[in-house]
Structure 1
Amino acid sequence: MTLPVMHSSIHKTKATAITLAALLMSGTIHAADRVTFQLDWLPGGDKAPVYVGLAQGFFEERDLDVHISQGRGSTDAITKLATGQADIGLSDITALMIAHAEGDVPVKGVYSVFSQPPHAFYVLKDSDIEQVSDVADKRIATSPFTSSNLFLPLLLEMNGVDEQSVNLIQSDPGTLSPMLLNGRTDVVISWITDQERYADNARSIGQSLRVIPWHEAGLEAYATTLIASERFLDERPDVAKRFVEAYEQAIEYTWANPEQAAVAVNDVVPEVEIDMAARTIEAIRSLVFNDFSAANGLGTFEPGRLASTWQWTANAQEMDPEVLDPESIVDRRFLPGSSR
């Protein structure tokens, strides 16, 4: 009684295997294209689109199997793409420009996420500092690790502030907010992406803050950018095109639905609080959706702004602007609506 059952089971197994093999050979069943996405820093509301793309199925709809890798800064992200550890990811475009100016880096910018830079001054609401020109003779606290420091001298010069008149204090990032609230500094330099965290700290002691974005004081430039390895772009151009299309869809969904976008981040990274992520998304809306992006389109690299971004960067780094053609660091073929 047992043997016929075993034979039947064996025949069914063989038949299933043959059927699956036939389907695979015919292309009816196939694996989704795997893509490794490299963050440039820790997860949070400002990184929401990639998590939204997963949660809303935008990647799956385009037959993409996306895996997210944690990051430790733009330079780290560029290195991981250049060495084949990731396919596509995020970086500040100024870091990409510097990397290209210093050597041959097989990484290109493919989509502009922030068309305005995130650098800002933070002051107490009752401070007499209302604009950049008011920081003359003030104490300014900053982290020694932030890229904002590179652009500070240029920003001050543009706004008529003698750099020697300010007292620049370098301190650990975690101490900056307490220093401002305790009166040990008049101004803090930080990114707009930190706005809600600073606001919470101020509210906890009955204070409120004023944020002065540097782009409102003349520092208009590209910032956070989707970057990709040239190997990925050359060997899997269709995959790259589908990824960028899905990512743009995720960007639009993120800022149309901040709460749901925040939930998408929290579902993958529970330590990211939903409320904080949602408020961060709202706080940085102007970095993504602004007059410039409305006029030129999301994701685009307008030649004039790309050139001025490099000019800012070269001046800040005391580099010869002629060492790099900024057009050489971007690849526009993968922008949604473009033809390859």
Structure 2
Amino acid sequence: MATTASTRRQFLTLLGLSAVSVGCGAATGAPSGKGQTRTLRYQGWAGQVTVAELAADLGYLEDVKLEWVGNTISGPQDIQSAATGQVDFGGAFNGAVVKLAANNAPIKAVISYYGADRHAYNGFYVLEDSAVRSPRDLLGKKVGMNTLGGHSEALLDIYLRRKGLSDAEIDEVEPLVVPPVNTEQALRQKQIDVAVLGGMLRDKALEKGGIRPLFTDHQLLGSFSAGTYVMTNRFLQQNPDTARVFVTGVGRALDWSRSTPREEVVARMTDIVNRRRRNEDPAPLKYWRSYGVAEAGGRITGKELQLWIDWLAERGDIDKNQVRPADLFTNDFNEAGRGSARPAATTKGS
């Protein structure tokens, strides 16, 4: 798992999709003949309730059904599955979406589904007595995260660059893939030096004590929508009504989660996990605070994509003129949040 200079400079290449592979892989799940599919295949996250799953439980997806095909621990893998037609929508951090689009994947971002605010954020944590207290202390150290080429590696890279480390120095910091449920344990057993923890897993670890943050993505970039759901262009063309119901329903669920007392949101999520019978522990859900999406209804502004276009171009991973935000997303299928300001970033009862 060791990271080399070459691997660093080929950030996000685990997406590994050529124009040929994705161009002929835009299977959509749409039925043959007349009519539009009313079933959307997707991947979930163990022990979590995605906003799409919440929307379905709230009845916001109307007659559109979700078909769970398994779990993922990687946003890049999830949108790769969407681009190749294994699922009908997938979600990842926006840098991965930009990179995938730059590789000529026929996808479109349709709604933001997670982000960072004062409740929902990813932190880079070390043990309380760790000697790691500054960016340069990370040289030669191992940083455990859920996947390479995703949100966490991007934020680590931005942090190190903003603190003045050179490319050669950054290459000395070693990102490692560690399943989220094992990351805290790996840190406490000193198998890694830094653990990236977010949401329920973060708060559960902080409750135990003995760890402290080196930095968080919210401290680094402020409140921002970090990831979007994507669908293939072909799916959107063949199933516009289904896409509209889905995207709008997800947007309504985001707004519901903001305006509803936190205890009620947590209770509903716990009930969802118990009813779906996937052999999961619902206990960590009590730590849920927010999905962190910055805009009302999850609507996309373009700035959350431009951030990563500029950054990837600066690194030499893409040509700055290769992609434009306007070509990467659409709000045409989202009837939620139109003409309204984003509700407060806190949930009632938090």
TM-score (norm 1): 0.70
User: SS of the residue aligned with 2:228?
Assistant: strand
Aligned counterpart, 1:261: 269
**Residue 121 of structure 1 aligns to a residue in which SS?**
strand
- Structure 1, residues 49-91: CA drift from partner, whole Å, max 9, x if none? 23323333222xx222332232443344334333444333323
Which amino acid in the other structure matches residue 89 of structure 1?
Answer: G
Match of 2:99 in 1: 98
Tell me the alpha carbon deviations over residues 92-142 of structure 1, each in whole angstroms, 9 at most, x when there is no partner.
322221111112x22210001124395431123566877xxx332244523
- Once the two structures are TM-superposed, the CA of residue 179 in structure 1 deviates from its matched residue by 4.5
Aligned partner of 1:82 in structure 2 is 83
Q: Which residue of 2 aligns with 1:28?
A: none
In the TM superposition, what are the counterparts of 1:121-140 in structure 2 within 5 Å? 121-125=124-128, 134-138=134-138, 139-140=141-142
Highest CA radius of gyration, 1 or 2?
1
**Matched ranges for 1:121-160 at <5 A:** 121-125=124-128, 134-138=134-138, 139-143=141-145, 145-146=147-148, 147=150, 148-160=152-164
1:180-191 correspondence to structure 2 within 5 Å: 180-182=187-189, 186-191=193-198
Distance in 1 separating the partners of 2:93 and 2:54 = 21
Q: Distance in 2 between matches of 1:317 and 1:54?
A: 40
Question: Which residue in the other structure is 1:271 paired with?
Answer: 279
RMSD (Å), alpha carbons: 3.5
Q: Which amino acid aligns with 1:226?
A: Y
Instruction: Quote the residue 2:109 is aligned against.
Output: 109
Match of 1:49 in 2: 51
1:239-293 Cα offsets, whole Å, 9 max, x none, are 21111122222233445312212321332144222221232x32xx2622xxxx2
1:300 equivalent in alignment to 2:299? yes
Shift of 1:199: 3.9
Task: State how far apart, in whole Å, the 2-side matches of 1:94 and 1:193 are.
Answer: 23
Deviation at residue 322 of structure 1 after TM alignment: 1.7
Answer yes or no: is 1:218 the counterpart of 2:221.
yes
Aligned partner of residue 274 in structure 2, secondary structure: helix
Amino acid at match of 2:296: G
Instruction: Give how far 1:225 is off.
Output: 1.2
Cα distance in 2, alignment partners of residues 119 and 208 from structure 1:
14
8 Å contact from structure 2 (residues 155, 217) kept in 1: no
Match of 2:244 among 241, 244, 249: 241
- Cα gap change, 1:83/1:318 in structure 2, threshold over 3 Å: closer, same or farther? closer
Looking at structure 1, the residues matched to 175 and 82 of structure 2 have their Cα atoms a distance apart, in angstroms, of 31
Counterpart position of 1:13 = none
Partner of 1:331: 330
The corresponding residue for 1:64 is 64
* Map 1:185-204 → 2, pairs under 5 A: 186-192=193-199, 194-196=201-203, 198-199=205-206, 203=208
Kindly state the Cα deviation for residue 227 of structure 1 after the two structures are TM-superposed.
Answer: 1.3
Deviation at 1:166, TM superposition (A): 9.3
Contact 1:71–1:77 (CA<8 Å) still a contact in 2? no
CA contact (8 A) 2:116 2:218 kept: yes
> Distance between the aligned counterparts of 1:42 and 1:275, measured in 2?
15
- 1:266 is paired with a residue whose SS is helix
CA contact (8 A) 1:43 1:272 kept: yes
Shift of 1:33: 5.5
Partner of 1:38: 42
Residues in 1 aligned to 2:235 and 2:36: alpha-carbon distance in whole angstroms = 16
Tell me the percent identity: 19
Change (3 A) 1:323 1:33: closer
- Deviation readout 1:199-243 (Å, 9 max, x if unpaired): 46xx2xx63544731231237754221211222211221221111
Deviates more, 1:73-82 or 1:302-311: 73-82
> Per the alignment, do residues 214 and 80 of structure 1 end up closer, same or farther by CA in structure 2, a change over 3 Å counting?
closer
Unaligned 5+ segments in structure 2 are 1-34, 340-350
Distance 2:256 2:129 in 1: 36
Q: Any unmatched runs of 5+ in structure 1? A: 1-30
Decide whether aligned partners of structure 1 residues 140 and 329 sit closer, same or farther in structure 2, where only a CA change above 3 A counts.
same
1:141–1:168 Cα contact (<8 Å) kept: yes
Structure-1 residue corresponding to 2:184: 177
For 2:304 and 2:86, locate their aligned partners in 1 and report how far apart those are by CA, in whole Å. 30
Tell whether 2:292 aligns with 1:287. yes
